[in-house]
Chain A
């Protein structure tokens, strides 16, 4: 060790002058040399300013859309699961598709808050809070579908290991039961992580509060946080530990979701590639949703100094990387189906691409494999409108991926005599359509009442926060 240290202290060898190494400058994470106080003002103002008109308009529209879910579910509960388009042989239609779709969207939030935290990717700070909120609201939307798919929703508590009058217990061999534990743990841990991360910022809002209800509301939520370094020490440790716990958690959640399929014997489902393929797809779709939400907010609130082009570039590159992984998984599935020489498996894949659901398959491929490849080009990443549109394609494509996986394997399995064709009913469509309103309404409430970005963390990544600097940007 000491030898190495001595080497570093030696004068630089002459060769360095000849090869002229370039020192790569990291782009700043906050533009225009904004001060620490500016960051507090900027983010607290989003919550403190009078409610803007666009917010009310969007909120009312979102609630109206959400009412479609309410209508769909009322219809279902009052009549029976038969009002959905489920029928033999396809008993897992839109319900499971929508469940996996929403759960997947949530995963980018945890990736940003936990995995990028462990990897010390400081650019995560400005999008972290909103992405975590997105996670929680997406899991809320996801939970609706399996909950109502059980049919008699008033017995849904049988899913949990609670004593009931029939003296029976959940069957822990079932991947669906694993799902209950995975998703409920995921939701709970995400809420804990989100809330704990917010405490210092709630304290900042409390300290600025003028009205009594604000003092009480933010005061209670801030838990008496007083920015003490003795507290920061435990807080940072807890934050790191929660990041460390959330990382295996998020990977396990989508792995277990994929077990719902992979642990069955159906051609096209029974493959070992499913867990990593599902996790990559989840992160892919989740980043699509993060950009879909953050780009409009950036424009509305003028957050260009906090969500810089560098941030957008980073997110686009993750979409490009995970999109390529998803594309690779599609190709590998096909290859293994052929190489495995199982005629049913081979048929399942040829049928996906050229059978009765070929339209869905090619929507999936064009949205998920082709559209993210555009992010190789800088001029596309630098055009927020184009990025937003491509992210829309990613969201659509990932919904179709789950549709293709779920429906094609069920519709055409071993026996042609038991084949079928699945179409959703109006109740399916209402229920799914409404969840977008539900999700948006929750997100709008978050934007209005809670700190949109982690104020303390953002301050900590600016040069004035460096204790060895001079306390300024220069």
Chain B
């Protein structure tokens, strides 16, 4: 169906080395583009700054997960050992924060880990098994040794001619038009 309404998605250009892509990304950022992305076979150190990205929001999911886990632990241990089936053990209180603490601790970590894991997927909008970049014949090299910059059609600054010129000027090779 893709070829029926082949709207342009954006322009993609390839780069050879990590320093090249790092410098190029800074130029795209300074040119004021917002809807664009960099593809690298490994996380390039400092690239977030070069792209002008803010801090990741994954820690929020971790915090929510951790708090949920801790209070889930409090709730189940209190309900099971202190409320629904209280047992006297050594004359100790039916429930306190002390004796089930290992359980609360483990559940905090468990839920925080789930929060982090799913937070990563939610923040990245993954899984997304189809994406226009996958139609680019050379894109499978993005996981090998080639670097790419994609500037999307949606970007308010996007202009087929000027954007192509910018990508070529900053050292991009094989500037290609991707279709949606």
Q: Chain A residues in contact with chain B, CB under 8 A? A: 35-37, 40, 161, 167-173, 175, 177-178, 181-182, 185, 188-189, 192-193, 196, 200, 203-204, 207-208, 219-220, 223-238, 241-242, 245-246, 248-249, 252, 256, 259, 455-457, 459-460, 464-472
Residues facing A in B100-154 (CB within 8 A) are 100, 102-103, 105-107, 109-110, 112-114, 116-117, 119-121, 123-124, 126-131, 133-134, 139-145
Say yes or no: B117 contacts A192, CB within 8 Å. yes
Q: Tell whether B77 is near chain A: CB-to-CB under 8 Å.
A: yes
Say yes or no: B116 contacts A238, CB within 8 Å. yes
Say yes or no: B107 contacts A185, CB within 8 Å. yes
Given that A208-B140, A241-B59 are known contacts, is A36 also in contact with B41, CB under 8 Å in the complex?
A: yes
Q: Chain B residues in contact with chain A, CB under 8 A? A: 16-22, 25, 37-48, 50-51, 53, 55-59, 62, 76-77, 80-81, 84-85, 87, 89, 92, 99-100, 102-103, 105-107, 109-110, 112-114, 116-117, 119-121, 123-124, 126-131, 133-134, 139-145
Q: How far is the CA of A200 from the CA of B124 in the complex (A)?
A: 13
Q: Which of A35, A457, A460 has the most CB of B within 10 A?
A: A460
Contacts of B58 in A (CB 8 A): 234, 237-238, 241
Say yes or no: B120 contacts A169, CB within 8 Å. no
Contacts of B84 in A (CB 8 A): 169
Q: How far is the CA of A249 from the CA of B66 in the complex (A)?
A: 13
Extra pairs beyond A40-B145, A207-B139, A248-B109 (19, CB < 8 Å): A168-B85, A181-B103, A204-B144, A208-B143, A220-B129, A224-B126, A224-B130, A226-B131, A229-B38, A232-B43, A232-B47, A234-B57, A456-B41, A456-B143, A464-B17, A467-B47, A468-B19, A468-B46, A471-B17
Closest to B117 in A: A192
| Contact of B19 (CB < 8 Å), options: A177, A223, A466 | A466
Closest to A192 in B: B117
Q: How far is the CA of A249 from the CA of B106 in the complex (A)?
A: 7
| Contact of B129 (CB < 8 Å), options: A175, A204, A224 | A224
Say yes or no: A238 contacts B119, CB within 8 Å. yes
Q: How far is the CA of A228 from the CA of B123 in the complex (A)?
A: 13
Say yes or no: B44 contacts A465, CB within 8 Å. yes
Interface of B is mostly: helix
Say yes or no: A173 contacts B59, CB within 8 Å. no
Say yes or no: A238 contacts B100, CB within 8 Å. no
Q: How far is the CA of A37 from the CA of B140 in the complex (A)?
A: 12
Say yes or no: A185 contacts B48, CB within 8 Å. no
Interface of A is mostly: helix
25 contacts between A and B (CB under 8 A): A40-B144, A172-B100, A173-B99, A175-B102, A193-B113, A208-B143, A223-B129, A226-B134, A227-B143, A228-B37, A228-B38, A229-B25, A233-B48, A233-B53, A235-B124, A236-B43, A237-B55, A238-B116, A242-B113, A245-B62, A259-B102, A460-B43, A465-B45, A471-B18, A472-B17
Given that A192-B113, A245-B112, A470-B19 are known contacts, is A230 also in contact with B103, CB under 8 Å in the complex?
A: no
Q: How far is the CA of A241 from the CA of B65 in the complex (A)?
A: 12
Say yes or no: B127 contacts A459, CB within 8 Å. no
A155 to chain B, nearest CB (A): 17
Given that A207-B143, A219-B129, A224-B126 are known contacts, is A467 also in contact with B80, CB under 8 Å in the complex?
A: no
Q: How far is the CA of A200 from the CA of B139 in the complex (A)?
A: 14
Given that A456-B43, A467-B46, A470-B19 are known contacts, is A245 also in contact with B103, CB under 8 Å in the complex?
A: no
Q: How far is the CA of A13 from the CA of B172 in the complex (A)?
A: 46
Q: How far is the CA of A242 from the CA of B134 in the complex (A)?
A: 29
Say yes or no: A188 contacts B113, CB within 8 Å. yes
Say yes or no: A181 contacts B99, CB within 8 Å. no
| Contact of B124 (CB < 8 Å), options: A169, A234, A472 | A234
Contacts of B46 in A (CB 8 A): 467-468
Given that A241-B116, A464-B18, A465-B18 are known contacts, is A231 also in contact with B76, CB under 8 Å in the complex?
A: no
Contacts of B133 in A (CB 8 A): 226
Contacts of B44 in A (CB 8 A): 229, 460, 465, 467
B91 to chain A, nearest CB (A): 12
Say yes or no: A230 contacts B106, CB within 8 Å. no
| Contact of B126 (CB < 8 Å), options: A168, A231, A465 | A231
| Contact of B77 (CB < 8 Å), options: A172, A204, A245 | A172
| Contact of A245 (CB < 8 Å), options: B37, B113, B128 | B113
Say yes or no: B59 contacts A229, CB within 8 Å. no
Q: How far is the CA of A161 from the CA of B85 in the complex (A)?
A: 12
Say yes or no: A169 contacts B85, CB within 8 Å. yes
| Contact of A228 (CB < 8 Å), options: B16, B39, B119, B130 | B39
